[in-house]
Amino acid sequence: MGKWNRFRRSKKKPASPAAQDSESTGRVGQPLGPGQSAIQPSYLQDDDLQDTGAAREEHEPDIHRPEPDIHRRKFHMETQPEEPMLPPAPPGQATGRPPQKAPRALKGVVVLAIGLPGSGKTTWFKRRGVTPLSSDMLRTILFDDITEQRYQSLVFSTLRSLLRARLIARMPWNYVDATNLSPHERRQWIQMARQLGYEVQAVFFDVPVEVCLERNRKRERMVSEDIMRRMASKLRPPTFEEGFSKIVVVRVKSKEGSGEAVEGEI
């Protein structure tokens, strides 16, 4: 009877902390053998195991541990070849990006005249046997009056439609005779031409406003001096940054403004 009581007392003995922490055989509470230690999950870091201070709450943030620098985390992407057995690409193409397409062939040229009234634009075209698309021509066609100025937006929207029709028809050379004083006024012409695959060139009539005023007084259709000077204040020379591939500058040869012009390319 005494042996039986001793046996019952030995079975009710609580397990040691080491036995409760053991998962070596999948049975929690199994006593550890000689030389064995409790298994810890691999995701626990050393500083977590060495934390012998006061017990922290399960979700309490650690204010002493710096937050991870997410800005240093970057994804690097590479493009694998479709056929692994093919030889490697040349160094110029081994960039991880698809090769660029070859530039498409240009369909033709659009030439914009830029200058004040009386600067010699119309004369320049006549000497070359060119009939340009011009705002004066459209005023005559639409209103039977070359001096009509009340419908400027209608005139220039129609002029752009005519140029677009020529570009769609793949006409190789296209000339626009208008003042085109500022980059803002020239932008729509340039964008249309380049979107349809055309090169854009400029012919800039760099003529002093006094010469233009003198020529204007001799013309049948005169522009008032106030309007001429306001237009001269808006005139800006063309630049390659606007999208021009070639710029021709036309200047008068003599100070008297005899009408003889000198051309030069930029």
Residue 19's CB is within 10 A of a number of other CB atoms, namely 15
Report yes or no on whether pTM surpasses 0.85: no
**Stretch 176-192: mean pLDDT, rounded?**
95
pLDDT of residue 36: 58
- First-to-last CA distance in the chain? 121
In a domain, 66, yes or no: no
CATH of the domain at 131: 3.40.50.300
255 pLDDT higher than 60: no
**Higher per-residue confidence, 161 vs 63:** 161
**Higher per-residue confidence, 19 vs 151:** 151
In a domain, 239, yes or no: yes
**Higher per-residue confidence, 3 vs 161:** 161
**Stretch 188-206: mean pLDDT, rounded?**
96
**Of the segments 35-44, 48-57, 138-147, 250-259, which one has the largest average pLDDT value?**
138-147
pLDDT of residue 4: 53
Closest-CA residue to 220 (of 145, 153, 133, 127): 145
**Higher per-residue confidence, 143 vs 102:** 143
pLDDT, averaged across the chain: 75
In a domain, 229, yes or no: yes
Contact 39, 26 (CB under 8 A): no
Q: Which residues contact 147 (CB under 8 A, 6 or more apart)?
A: 139, 221
38 pLDDT higher than 70: no
In a domain, 137, yes or no: yes
* Cα-to-chain-centroid distance, residue 212: 40
**Higher per-residue confidence, 41 vs 110:** 110
Q: Give the number of domains in the chain.
A: 1
In a domain, 4, yes or no: no
240 is in which domain, residue-wise?
Answer: 108-265
**Stretch 38-43: mean pLDDT, rounded?**
53
Q: Model confidence over 63-111: pLDDT tens digits? A: 455 555 544 444 444 544 445 455 555 555 545 555 566 566 789 999 9
In a domain, 78, yes or no: no
Q: How far is CA 25 from CA 30, 32, 39, 80, 174, in A?
A: 8, 10, 11, 46, 89
In a domain, 232, yes or no: yes
In a domain, 36, yes or no: no
**Higher per-residue confidence, 140 vs 74:** 140
**Higher per-residue confidence, 220 vs 107:** 107
Confidence of residue 221 (pLDDT cuts 50, 70, 90): confident
Closest-CA residue to 40 (of 51, 224, 118, 148): 51
Question: How far apart are alpha carbons 18 and 104 in whole angstroms?
Answer: 78
